[in-house]
Amino acid sequence: MKTLDLSIVVPIYNEAESIPYLLDAISNSAEQTGLTYEIICVDDGSIDGSTDVLKKETQTRSSLKAIILRRNYGQTPAMAAGFTESQGKIIITLDGDLQNDPADIPLLLEKLEQGYDLVSGWRKNRQDDAITRLLPSKIANWLIGKITGVKLHDYGCSLKAYRAELIDDMNLYGELHRFLPALAYIEGAKITEIPVNHHARRFGQSKYGLGRTFRVIMDLLTIFFMKKFLTRPMHVFGFFGLIVTMLGFLMGIYLTFLKLGLGQSIGDRPLLILCALLILTGVQLFSFGLLGELLMRTYHESQKRPIYRIRDIFQDQTLIRH
């Protein structure tokens, strides 16, 4: 049972100088809402003294919970740890580098109360380098929107508000934190975004760079597959398996006609090797589809996860479940 109104989850990695200012800003903003709240800072294996700073801050801030991970796992596991330990009915996430503005938290909550399950921040006037950050981000946002069907201006903004029950339905692996809106969409969530403030970095150095592009593409392919074929993997593997197998059989019929009908030699033809390869590939794709179906059923049944999500139930014009 969730015992608080609001949980604010902040992954921390080498942000020792920012932490005191960040906690002050978050506390001031949360106090303005009048809600009961907690701040959960997840130290993701920092080596700059952030751990000691967080431990010291817990002595004077009763609302602060510091989670110290054993090593640097990455932002997705850090966020997952914060989600697991949260007690709030609403969860806010933001970065620990002071570039997200905690003063925007009331705006996110106000928008969430309009019936949305997830409100994402949009850094409309982003204070980052145009070549190394802004341009790749614009391309990535466009590509993610096209593939996932969730149209957001700024997938990379960590400042987001979620209903806790939505988070409970999502499992995070790899580096899927940047695709949380897409994962939420798979769960049937109502999603929107609002412009938020964005500040230039005051301390330290950015942890992001062009090197993450490959990881983003791989995760995007995962999200695409989950969105389209999570509950029906045979539809994708079986479809391609059918096409490949049919091509192989057509080639086999053609080669048989050449051999038996025209008496030509086919043993030295590359087409014979391609025919055998296509048939074997088709059989393998069908096998992958069957294995995928078995894994999918194990995944859903072992966790008792339904293949649908109910938003409301009405009876006699009355809302009986929400």
- Each residue of 55-95: pLDDT tens digit? 999 999 999 999 999 898 888 889 988 998 999 999 999 99
Mean pLDDT of 117-130: 82
Q: Which among 192, 181, 65, 168 has a CA at the least distance from the CA of 119?
A: 192
Structural contact between residues 222 and 180, judged by C-beta atoms closer than 8 angstroms: no
Q: Answer yes or no: do 217 and 261 share one domain.
A: no
pLDDT over 70 percentage in the chain: 83
User: Across residues 188-192, what is the average pLDDT?
Assistant: 90
Please write the tens of the pLDDT for every residue from 195-243.
Answer: 999 888 777 676 555 556 666 777 777 777 776 666 677 777 888 888 9
Average of pLDDT values for 125-146?
Answer: 71
Bridge partners for 122 per DSSP: 195
pLDDT of the residue at 317 = 53
Cα–Cα distances (Å) from 279 to 191, 250, 267, in that order, read: 44, 10, 17
Among 202, 229, 256, give the residue marking a domain's end. 229
Specify if 317 maps to a domain.
no
Distance CA 193, CA 160 (A): 9
Contact 39, 61 (CB under 8 A): yes
Q: Contact at 8 Å (CB) between 311 and 320?
A: no
Compute how many other C-beta atoms are within 10 angstroms of the C-beta atom of residue 320. Answer: 9
Instruction: Say how far apart CA 277 and CA 211 lie, in whole Å.
Output: 36
Say yes or no: 273 and 218 in one domain: no
- Same-domain check for residues 128 and 264: no
Residue, of 149 and 314, whose pLDDT is higher = 149
Name the average pLDDT for the chain. 83
Encoded tokens for 212 = 């993450």
Measured distance CA(45)–CA(89) in Å, rounded? 28
User: Residue 157: is its pLDDT beyond 70?
Assistant: yes
In degrees and rounded to multiples of 5, residue 98 shows phi and psi of: 70, 5
DSSP-assigned states of every residue in 184-236: HHHTT--EEEEEE-B----SS--S--GGGHHHHHHHHHHHHHHHHHTT-HHHH
Which DSSP state fits 169?
A: T
Print the domain residue range for 177: 4-229
267 part of a folded domain: yes
Range name among 15-19, 193-197, 310-314 with the lowest pLDDT average: 310-314
For position 315, what pLDDT does the model report?
A: 47
- Do residue 58 and residue 192 come from a single domain? yes
Q: How many CA atoms lie within 13 A of 101 on its CB side?
A: 18
Are 178 and 243 in a shared domain?
Answer: no
- State pTM to two decimals: 0.74
Residue type, 22: L
Residue 293's pLDDT is 78
The more confidently predicted of residues 156 and 321 is 156
DSSP secondary structure letters along 254-275: HHHIIIIIS----TT-HHHHHH
CATH of the domain at 18: 3.90.550.10
Residues 8 and 52 in one domain: yes
The mean pLDDT value for 291-297 works out to 78
pLDDT value of residue 37: 95
Claim to verify: residue 74 and residue 157 sit in the same structural domain: yes
The reply to whether 238 and 219 lie within a common domain is no
pLDDT score of 10 more than 50: yes
The answer on 222 and 182 residing in a single domain is yes
Q: Identify any residues that bridge with 198 across adjacent strands, giving them in sequence order.
A: 100
Tokens 């403030």 — which residue?
Answer: 197
Pairing of strands 191-196, 160-163: unpaired
Confidence category of residue 117, pLDDT binned at 50, 70, 90 = very high
The pLDDT score that the predictor gives to residue 213 is 61
**Residue that wins the pLDDT comparison between 192 and 170:** 192
Residue 80 structure tokens: 């997952």
What's the pLDDT score for residue 91? 96
Q: Is the distance from CB of 271 to CB of 278 less than 8 angstroms?
A: no
- 151 occurs within a structural domain: yes
The C-alpha atoms of residue 295 and residue 53 are separated, in whole angstroms, by 44
Residue 236 φ then ψ, to 5°: -90, -50
Q: How many domains does the chain have?
A: 2
- DSSP annotation of 100 reads B
Domain ends where: 199, 229, 259?
229
